[in-house]
A and B are shown apart, each in its own frame.
Chain A
Amino acid sequence: MAQEQVFITVIGKDQKGIIARISNAVFAHNINIEDLNQKIMGGYFVMTMLADTTDSPVTITQLKKELSVIEDEMGLKIQVQHENIFKTMHRV
Chain B
Amino acid sequence: MEYSLEEVMETVRMTLYHNFDIRTVTLGINLKDCINSDLDIFKENVYTRVSGYGRRLILEARKLEDKYGIPITNKRISVTPVSLIIEACAEPDAPLEIAKTLDKASKDVGIDFIGGYGALVQKGMTRADERLIGSLPEVLSSTERVCAFLNVASTVSGMNMDAVIRLGKTLKEIASKTRNGIGCARFVVFANAPEDNPFMAGAFHGVGEPDFSLNIGISGPGVVRSVVEKNRSCNLTELSEVIKRTTFKITRAGELIGRELSRNLSVPFGIVDISLASTTKVGDSVAGIVEMMGVEKMGAPGSTAALALLIDAVKKGGAMASGNVGGLSGTFIPVSEDSCMNEAVRLGALSIEKLEALTAVCSVGLDMIAIPGDTPAETISAIIADELAIGVVNSKTTGVRLVPVPGKIKGDYVNFGGLLGETYVMDISAFSSHDFIMRGGRMPGPVTGMRN
Interface, chain A (partner B; CB < 8 A) = 7, 9, 11, 35, 37-39, 41, 46, 48, 50, 59-61, 64, 77, 79-82, 84-86, 88-90
CB pair B68 A46 closer than 8 Å: no
CB distance from A62 to the nearest CB of B (A): 10
Q: List 29 A-B contacts (CB under 8 A).
A: A7-B3, A7-B8, A9-B8, A9-B9, A11-B12, A37-B1, A41-B9, A48-B1, A50-B1, A60-B66, A60-B67, A77-B16, A79-B16, A79-B69, A80-B69, A81-B11, A81-B70, A82-B68, A84-B68, A84-B256, A85-B11, A85-B68, A85-B253, A86-B7, A88-B252, A88-B253, A89-B250, A90-B10, A90-B249
B15 within 8 Å of A by Cβ? yes
Cα distance, A87 to B253, chains bound together (Å): 9
B255 within 8 Å of A by Cβ? yes
Cα distance, A6 to B11, chains bound together (Å): 14
Cα distance, A41 to B4, chains bound together (Å): 14
In chain B, positions 238-267 with a C-beta closer than 8 Å to chain A are 249-250, 252-253, 255-256
B5 within 8 Å of A by Cβ? yes
Cα distance, A90 to B253, chains bound together (Å): 10
Shortest beta-carbon contacts, A-B, top 3: A81-B69, A89-B249, A35-B1
Chain A residues in 8 Å Cβ range of B250 = 89
CB pair B69 A89 closer than 8 Å: no
Cα distance, A11 to B15, chains bound together (Å): 13
Cα distance, A82 to B4, chains bound together (Å): 16
Instruction: Given A64-B66, A79-B16, answer yes or no on A90-B3 (Cβ-Cβ < 8 Å).
Output: yes
CB pair A89 B9 closer than 8 Å: no
CB pair B16 A86 closer than 8 Å: no
CB distance from B430 to the nearest CB of A (A): 51
Q: Which residue of A lies closest to B66 (CB)?
A: A61
Sample of 8 more A-B contacts, CB < 8 Å, known A79-B12, A89-B249: A37-B8, A48-B8, A60-B66, A64-B66, A82-B67, A82-B68, A86-B7, A89-B11
Cα distance, A37 to B1, chains bound together (Å): 8
Interface residues on B, range: 20 to 34
CB pair B253 A46 closer than 8 Å: no
CB distance from A4 to the nearest CB of B (A): 10
Partner of B256, one of A39, A79, A85: A85
In chain B, positions 60-84 with a C-beta closer than 8 Å to chain A are 66-70
Chain A residues in 8 Å Cβ range of B15 = 79
Interface, chain B (partner A; CB < 8 A) = 1, 3-5, 7-12, 15-16, 66-70, 249-250, 252-253, 255-256
Partner of B68, one of A39, A48, A81: A81
CB distance from B383 to the nearest CB of A (A): 41
Q: Which residue of A lies closest to B15 (CB)?
A: A79
Q: Which residue of B lies closest to A10 (CB)?
A: B12
Chain A residues in 8 Å Cβ range of B249 = 89-90
Instruction: Given A77-B16, A79-B69, answer yes or no on A86-B3 (Cβ-Cβ < 8 Å).
Output: yes
CB pair B255 A88 closer than 8 Å: yes
Chain A residues in 8 Å Cβ range of B68 = 81-82, 84-85
Chain B residues in 8 Å Cβ range of A59 = 66
Chain B residues in 8 Å Cβ range of A80 = 69
Chain A residues in 8 Å Cβ range of B67 = 60, 81-82
Cα distance, A80 to B256, chains bound together (Å): 17
CB distance from A40 to the nearest CB of B (A): 11
Q: Which residue of B lies closest to A84 (CB)?
A: B256
CB distance from A71 to the nearest CB of B (A): 12
CB pair B12 A9 closer than 8 Å: yes
CB distance from B165 to the nearest CB of A (A): 49
Partner of A48, one of B9, B16, B69, B70: B9
Cα distance, A87 to B7, chains bound together (Å): 10
Q: Which residue of B lies closest to A82 (CB)?
A: B67
CB distance from B111 to the nearest CB of A (A): 22
Chain B residues in 8 Å Cβ range of A50 = 1
CB distance from A6 to the nearest CB of B (A): 9
Chain A residues in 8 Å Cβ range of B1 = 35, 37, 48, 50
Partner of B252, one of A41, A82, A89: A89
Chain A residues in 8 Å Cβ range of B11 = 81, 85-86, 89-90
CB pair B16 A85 closer than 8 Å: no
CB distance from A30 to the nearest CB of B (A): 19
Q: Which residue of A lies closest to B259 (CB)?
A: A88
CB pair B70 A37 closer than 8 Å: no
Chain A residues in 8 Å Cβ range of B4 = 37
CB distance from B91 to the nearest CB of A (A): 47
CB pair A11 B3 closer than 8 Å: no
CB distance from B79 to the nearest CB of A (A): 30
Chain B residues in 8 Å Cβ range of A9 = 8-9, 12
Chain A residues in 8 Å Cβ range of B252 = 88-89
Cα distance, A86 to B3, chains bound together (Å): 8
Q: Which residue of A lies closest to B4 (CB)?
A: A37
CB distance from B1 to the nearest CB of A (A): 4
CB distance from B224 to the nearest CB of A (A): 15
